[in-house]
Structure 1
Amino acid sequence: MISIKRGISYIIHNRALFCDSVVKHFFGWLPDKLYLSLRYRFNMGRWINWKKPRTFTEKIQWLKVYNRRPEYTIMVDKYAVKKYVADRIGEKYIIPTLGVWESPEDIDWNSLPDQFVLKTTHGGGSGGVVVCKDKETFNNGDAIAQLNGSMEENIYRNFREWPYKDVQKRIIAEKFMTPHDKSDDFSFDLTDYKFFCFNGVPKYCQVIRDRHSK
């Protein structure tokens, strides 16, 4: 009874989030534009101005629906994008690939070095990234479980990011990247830079550090 009361209380005080969750889990069959409109309304508290989007968040939703260039699917594929980038600026800017597999269970652990990074090719975020800094203490089973969880994710279905709709799901292993002076520091993570461009001009830079530290 207490759990039921708590659940009802949560719904009452978080109606917008509850409604958004309902749309996300039970109304995935809706057309992209309507689906995004509802989720935006429940998350942002207002409707999207589709005809004349003004805010950054509105423009992101507009791009999801109206900007669907085929090459975007290649760009979000962590494996296919390597050739795309190499053909334009050269192989030296590409992190070496150590292996490619269709499922986590297919990973050839014996072929991997003492340090490496595993990634799912179809998704974003840290859930699809497994970092091995010391193979002797690395738990293969935990890595497989995490990667299998990531393989179930569908960014297009949840957020209607169209480029992810037809990305082939695979796992790649990449060289573990670290500066020479940090090669023995297992707590070190590379700094991640994200540039936000508006009308082709970079306006903001997001810097992420210690992404995988505990």
Structure 2
Amino acid sequence: MNFYKKIIRSQKLRFKIMRMFSFLPEKTMIKLIYLIKTGRKPNLNQPKRYTEKLQWYKLNYRDPLMTKCADKFEVRNYVKSKGYESILNQLYGVYDNVEEINFNSLPNSFAIKANNGSGTNIFVNDKSEVDIEEIKKQLVIWLRPKKKSVYKEWCYYNIKPKIVIEKLIERDLNNDLPDYKFFCFNGKVYCLYTMIDYTDNHDNGKLGFYDSNFNKLPYRRSDYGEIKSHIQKPKNFEKMVEIAEKLSEDFPHVRVDFYNVNGKIIFGELTFYNAGGYTTFVPDEFDFILGDQFVLQKK
């Protein structure tokens, strides 16, 4: 855990403190947060680390297509345009206003998410056991105009807030959502990670990196424990790699996320700045290994 998280346990308070410095120029703010989160000054003139290159990416690569693909609703059209409509999760509705949502007409279980955020999800397993009015209050907050990202992730700035309601994806025998996050560079999968023991409490999660053939790599993120047990190669793994490479071909770098439920591939999202670009890896050399895959270009 980063030292600032140990000192300031509340995530809301941490964001509030960082927003106090949001008046700073983008480059200055990025350097400051990188220093706070990693304990290092970033080299943005000649970046070598993956995490440094992600900061450079924020500042120098600005393709409008990234905004479309960062939108968790609009990205569905991008996936369709690539010929993969069949992997989209079933959509129950998309809403600009909470009062538009008819909860009575929704099935007993469903997933709610904001189209413009990270971690803005509500999983409803049994509609009769939740407080709909409390859910509505949360959704009203999510629909408020989004402030500019503290982390300066520009592609989220101009996404109009919407509420997306989809089918609730079933969990596996370990009560996890089996998902796989592919790190793609110039349309090629280099590696991926998956997690276990994380769905209901991310702090308890264990994480493992794997190569493009699903061989375990000796690396992990410092904020999660290591997967030490054997994880079986998912069904249709090669198909996931194929789709990830097709969906990533328009970008220098993007993380492509899928769920895989007994071989059924379901699209998750496209993420351009993995963990905001502030991950610390164990061992540290992995930051440079990933950085070597990331060929920078301005746009």
TM-score of the superposed pair, with normalisation by structure 1: 0.77
Residue 53 (structure 1) aligned with residue 47 (structure 2)? yes
CA drift at 1:132? 1.1
- SS for the counterpart of 2:127 is coil
- In the alignment, structure 2 segments of 5+ residues that lack a partner are 9-13, 202-299
Q: Which residue of 1 aligns with 2:116?
A: 122
Question: Does structure 1 residue 82 correspond to structure 2 residue 76?
Answer: yes
Instruction: Say whether the 8 Å CA contact 2:30–2:55 is kept in structure 1.
Output: yes
Residue 138 of structure 2 is matched in structure 1 by: 146
Alignment of 1:57-206 (within 5 A): 57-125=51-119, 128-151=120-143, 154=146, 156-178=148-170, 188-206=175-193
Higher normalized helix content (fraction of residues): 1
CA deviations on 1:120-152 (whole Å, 9 max, x unpaired) are 000112xx1111111121221232233344445
User: Residue 207 of structure 1 aligns to which amino acid in structure 2?
Assistant: T
Q: Given residue 38 of structure 1, which amino acid in structure 2 is its aligned partner?
A: L
Structure 1 position 188, deviation (Å): 3.7
* SS of equivalent residue, structure 1 residue 57: helix
Distance 2:154 2:104 in 1: 36
Change in CA separation of 1:52 and 1:23 when aligned onto 2, cut-off 3 Å = farther
Whichever of the two has the greater Rg, that structure is 1
Could you say what the CA RMSD is over the residues aligned between the two structures, in angstroms? 3.0
Query: What are the residue-to-residue correspondences of 1:30-45 with 2, within 5 Å?
Result: 30-45=24-39
Contact 1:123 1:153 in 2 (8 A): no
Deviation for aligned residue 1:14: 5.9
Secondary structure (helix, strand or coil) at the match of 2:123 reads strand
State the distance in 1 between where 2:104 and 2:29 align: 45
For the residue of structure 1 that corresponds to 2:93, the secondary structure is strand
Contact 1:97 1:174 in 2 (8 A): yes
Identity of counterpart residues, as a percentage?
Answer: 31
Superposition TM-score, scaled by structure 2 size: 0.57
**Structure number having the greater strand percentage:** 2
Deviation, 1:167, is 0.7
**Cα deviation code 1:58-110 (max 9, x no counterpart):** 11111111111110001110111111101212321111211111133432101
- Greater shift, 161-170 or 201-210, is seen at 201-210
CA contact (8 A) 1:196 1:203 kept: yes
- Quote the Cα distance in structure 1 between the aligned partners of 2:195 and 2:132: 27
By relative contact order (CA 8 Å, sep 6+), the higher-ranking structure is 2
